[in-house]
A and B are shown apart, each in its own frame.
Chain A
């Protein structure tokens, strides 16, 4: 009976879908370009900007319109590579998909952008009218280019990562909350360790989890995760592992929590005991919700400085999907978010973003009156403009997300004391073997 019922349901569903498909095509006149622009994302960050600065009307959380074109958002979470998984399936079926269901534009992150730029699934954006990269940061263009230098997309942000600290805690630990003085006290890992010891004496934690500094190290490697088809653990990763082990043993961090875990985010509340976090502009304006909580948060009690080592973290690129039926609008969106001065200015002043337009960023950096209230009025754009000079997009592989997540997950278990270091590494290697069968693991 159950089986019969499920067959019936399945048949019904097929019919409903077919009906939808027919309904969608019932436009009045055959237009040159599609009436639906499909945008794929793994969160709603960019969607928010698109709704505020590009769309004419926002219908709901997943739909907006611009002129007579409907923009539809499809979102899968990034965790465990669910987004890549779903996106790959859609891109591989792109050729056979009806025009209105084709992926037109999708977002990709630094960890795996190369997988898409080096494939035929993305197209040369200079051919559809995105040609002016004079104001963008060079690394954002390099990151979106394939091996032959063909540009496949653009980023709406530049992501130098800063040390984000609690002013009140810094005052107690260092006697000052002035960014320049804090920076002077924390400009190398040796000094960082020393301050960590002082913080501990005063009852504070230096970092919310030893995993917090991971990106600082992983972004300063001298080799990629995969070299000649073999898994390779760079000395910089090794250094991070040593530091993490030490910080856990010394009690410089409360838990060996994952960077997105509730345990860690709890430290951002006013009653949190942690002094330092690391992240780019998107981190404190998109991921530090607890700190901005009206009741339990500590809005304004934060500031940023360069920290012990320059690095960047993440960043979202918009890529044009091959086979799009909305090339003009795709190009228009891209141009808007890198070259439209008004929009880029609003990204900085209203959304506290560090935009991908150097002229706009420099204007705010030089503006004495500009400040970010979350950071107690500090001019964050000035700090990021300086940090942006050190960004290097290098040693990237298509496997970085799996490797970066894998090593953190496996090593965390060692930090929590559940496995030995050897077991943690063996577990990591097993996970890579399972996730990426193409990589040789020794």
Chain B
């Protein structure tokens, strides 16, 4: 009996316990470095807490005053944070649309057994290359290239294409275009490789049987590739969107932190960063962060729901 009991105890050993133990380190790190700061940010957003010179003002509880201030109409007749949100959205779309189109096309080319492109490794390396450059260095390079006395203007002038140097960094369309272009260049390689991995994960026999049944490439793409690629596509799309919402380094460096012209390239994170200058305004910065958190959560949920809907 005694023996039996022992045996049954050994038999019912719970391996799940080890699972929990193994994930403890992650949760400890998550609690300390992610959850705690997040809660602290939310807490700070209800306080007046900044520096005036070397004097710390606060923290004084002010309720929702910081949020109210965020949504106050300014002298030019608009709400700054709404403008910056739209900027962020536009900047992301300019970069993301070509990024997804080109990446999808390249992924299809590279995985196509009919095309069977030679030197794939080389191309994959090359298109991934821009991602290895630091965003700020990349941005600095474009800043120098497109300045009024920079090489692009010199080239255009020596070809006689323009008489006066073009102020690329002074016009909304070109600044936004350049930011989009940089983000596109930096990320399309990464997206291509992720999508390729997704396509390669699809059972080859699916394509073969479709082709045997006489379907053309378009039909294969929309009826086989796309539906089966969906989980990976959603992942790539949401990561790109969150990256877009957090866009900072490229526009910050390209416009020297000013978000020019007329603040049309000021993103939400740049706005947040402005509060954390000499004044270390944790109250307002906290409020912006909380708003960002809500926007990200809502958008992600929305995208997930729409794309996965049957």
Partner of A418 from B75, B262, B281 at Cβ < 8 Å: B262
Q: Is A84 an interface residue (CB 8 A)?
A: yes
Check A121 against B54 for contact (C-beta < 8 Å): yes
What's the Cα separation between A174 and B42 when bound, in Å? 65
| Contacting residues, chain A, for B55 (C-beta < 8 A) | 119
Partner of A437 from B25, B148, B262, B279 at Cβ < 8 Å: B279
Q: Is A223 an interface residue (CB 8 A)?
A: no
| Contacting residues, chain B, for A413 (C-beta < 8 A) | 170, 260-262
What's the Cα separation between A31 and B254 when bound, in Å? 50
Q: Which residue of A lies closest to B262 (CB)?
A: A419
Task: Please give the distance in Å from B264's CB to the nearest CB on chain A.
Answer: 9
Task: Please give the distance in Å from A351's CB to the nearest CB on chain B.
Answer: 29
What's the Cα separation between A31 and B140 when bound, in Å? 47
What's the Cα separation between A301 and B256 when bound, in Å? 33
Check A116 against B275 for contact (C-beta < 8 Å): no
Q: Which residue of A lies closest to B258 (CB)?
A: A409
Q: Is B96 an interface residue (CB 8 A)?
A: no
Check B147 against A81 for contact (C-beta < 8 Å): no
Q: Is A398 an interface residue (CB 8 A)?
A: yes
| Contacting residues, chain A, for B122 (C-beta < 8 A) | none
Within 8 A of B (CB), among A414-442: 416, 418-419, 422-423, 425-427, 429-431, 434-438
Q: How many A-B residue pairs have CB under 8 A?
A: 99
Check B172 against A425 for contact (C-beta < 8 Å): no
Check B53 against A118 for contact (C-beta < 8 Å): yes
Check B275 against A434 for contact (C-beta < 8 Å): yes
Check A416 against B261 for contact (C-beta < 8 Å): yes
| Contacting residues, chain B, for A419 (C-beta < 8 A) | 261-262
Q: Which residue of B lies closest to A417 (CB)?
A: B170
Q: Which residue of B lies closest to A89 (CB)?
A: B280
Task: Please give the distance in Å from A291's CB to the nearest CB on chain B.
Answer: 16
Check B54 against A116 for contact (C-beta < 8 Å): yes
- Bitwise interface map of A from 2 to 13 toward B, beta carbon under 8 Å scored 1, else 0: 011001000000
| Contacting residues, chain B, for A418 (C-beta < 8 A) | 170-172, 260-262
Within 8 A of A (CB), among B159-213: 167, 170-172
Q: Is B284 an interface residue (CB 8 A)?
A: yes
Q: Is B257 an interface residue (CB 8 A)?
A: yes
| Contacting residues, chain A, for B262 (C-beta < 8 A) | 413, 418-419, 423, 427
| Contacting residues, chain B, for A434 (C-beta < 8 A) | 271, 274-275, 277, 281, 284
Partner of A7 from B29, B257, B277 at Cβ < 8 Å: B29
| Contacting residues, chain A, for B26 (C-beta < 8 A) | 3
Task: Please give the distance in Å from A85's CB to the nearest CB on chain B.
Answer: 5
What's the Cα separation between A211 and B75 when bound, in Å? 24
| Contacting residues, chain B, for A402 (C-beta < 8 A) | 278
Partner of B277 from A4, A85, A263, A425 at Cβ < 8 Å: A85
Check A85 against B258 for contact (C-beta < 8 Å): no
Q: Is A127 an interface residue (CB 8 A)?
A: no
* Contact of A436 with B147 at beta-carbon distance under 8 Å, contacts A402-B278, A413-B261, A429-B74 already known: no
Q: Is B57 an interface residue (CB 8 A)?
A: yes
* Contact of A119 with B74 at beta-carbon distance under 8 Å, contacts A263-B148, A266-B149 already known: no
- Bitwise interface map of A from 248 to 285 toward B, beta carbon under 8 Å scored 1, else 0: 00000001010001110010000000000000000000
* Contact of A426 with B74 at beta-carbon distance under 8 Å, contacts A3-B26, A413-B260 already known: yes
| Contacting residues, chain B, for A255 (C-beta < 8 A) | 148, 167
Q: Is A88 an interface residue (CB 8 A)?
A: yes
Task: Please give the distance in Å from A203's CB to the nearest CB on chain B.
Answer: 15
Check A435 against B277 for contact (C-beta < 8 Å): yes
What's the Cα separation between A423 and B74 when bound, in Å? 10
Q: Is A92 an interface residue (CB 8 A)?
A: yes
Check B167 against A423 for contact (C-beta < 8 Å): no
Q: Is A80 an interface residue (CB 8 A)?
A: yes
- Bitwise interface map of B from 70 to 89 toward A, beta carbon under 8 Å scored 1, else 0: 00001110001000000000
Check A427 against B29 for contact (C-beta < 8 Å): no
Task: Please give the distance in Å from A397's CB to the nearest CB on chain B.
Answer: 10
Within 8 A of A (CB), among B94-139: none
Indicate the member of A3, A426, A431 with the most B CB atoms within 10 Å.
A426
Check B76 against A426 for contact (C-beta < 8 Å): yes
Q: Is A200 an interface residue (CB 8 A)?
A: no
Task: Please give the distance in Å from A308's CB to the nearest CB on chain B.
Answer: 28
Check A427 against B76 for contact (C-beta < 8 Å): yes
Q: Is A138 an interface residue (CB 8 A)?
A: no
4 nearest A-B pairs in the assembled complex, by CB-CB distance: A426-B76, A418-B261, A426-B75, A438-B52
Please, could you name 19 A-B residue pairs with CB atoms under 8 Å apart, sorted by A? Answer: A4-B25, A80-B256, A80-B257, A81-B278, A84-B278, A85-B278, A92-B54, A115-B54, A119-B55, A120-B54, A262-B150, A263-B147, A413-B170, A413-B260, A413-B261, A427-B262, A431-B274, A435-B277, A435-B279
Known: A120-B54, A416-B170, A435-B279. 12 other contacts (CB 8 A): A7-B29, A84-B278, A263-B148, A413-B170, A418-B171, A426-B74, A427-B262, A434-B277, A435-B277, A435-B278, A437-B52, A438-B52
Q: CB within 8 Å of B: which residues of A?
A: 3-4, 7, 79-81, 84-85, 88, 91-92, 115-116, 118-121, 255, 257, 261-263, 266, 398, 402, 409, 413, 416, 418-419, 422-423, 425-427, 429-431, 434-438
